[in-house]
Amino acid sequence: MAEASEAASRIVKDATRAADIISRISLLFKKGALQRELVDVNDVIREMIVLLRGEATRHSISIRIELAEDLPKVMADPVQLQQVFMNLMLNAIEAMKEGSGGSELTIKSETDHGQVLISVSDTGVGLSPEQWNRSSKHSYDQGYRDWYGPAH
């Protein structure tokens, strides 16, 4: 009986957290000023994983996280960070969902010379050179050049 009660409590907690995330993401569609604040990026990543784990599981994609424990908070709009992480994670899931199993989405956070670095990688098939050129031009045009791009 205690196990059932504990499981029910976890379900309620996860549902409440998912509802909070969805509520904050819905703010993206409303016009308004950015709300910059100190944000724990690892918390934002964990929230997005909770929200997208079902989609990954549906396609037999495992999620691996490697989050730095001593990550400093960053000044950012948390809703915009959620949008960026959600887009990157959904793109990764999309790239792997037709795979033959063993697919993995990896999200990693670390610091390097005082900067917070986040990487989202997957074991999908990747882009053809033509697709890459279109994608990286779009990324540059959208101002996300520093978020992702070809490694040099």
pLDDT number for residue 145: 37
Backbone φ and ψ of 147, nearest 5° = -80, -40
CA 28/CA 41 separation, integer angstroms: 18
pLDDT at position 104, please?
A: 92
Q: In what order do the strands lie in the sheet with 115-122?
A: 61-67, 103-112, 115-122
**Degrees, nearest 5: CA angle 51-107-146:** 105
pLDDT band at 151 (very low <50, low <70, confident <90, very high): very low
Extract the tokens encoding 73. 């908070």
**CA–CA gap between residue 5 and residue 43 (Å, rounded):** 26
| pTM (two decimals) | 0.65
Question: At 111, is the secondary structure helix, strand, or coil?
Answer: strand
Rounded Cα gap, residues 126 and 129, in angstroms? 10
Q: Which of 18-27, 32-41, 82-91, 122-131 has the lowest mean pLDDT?
A: 18-27
Count of CB atoms situated within 10 Å of the CB of 78: 20
pLDDT (tens digit, 9 = 90+) per residue, 41-98?
999 999 999 999 999 998 899 999 999 998 999 999 888 898 899 999 998 888 888 7
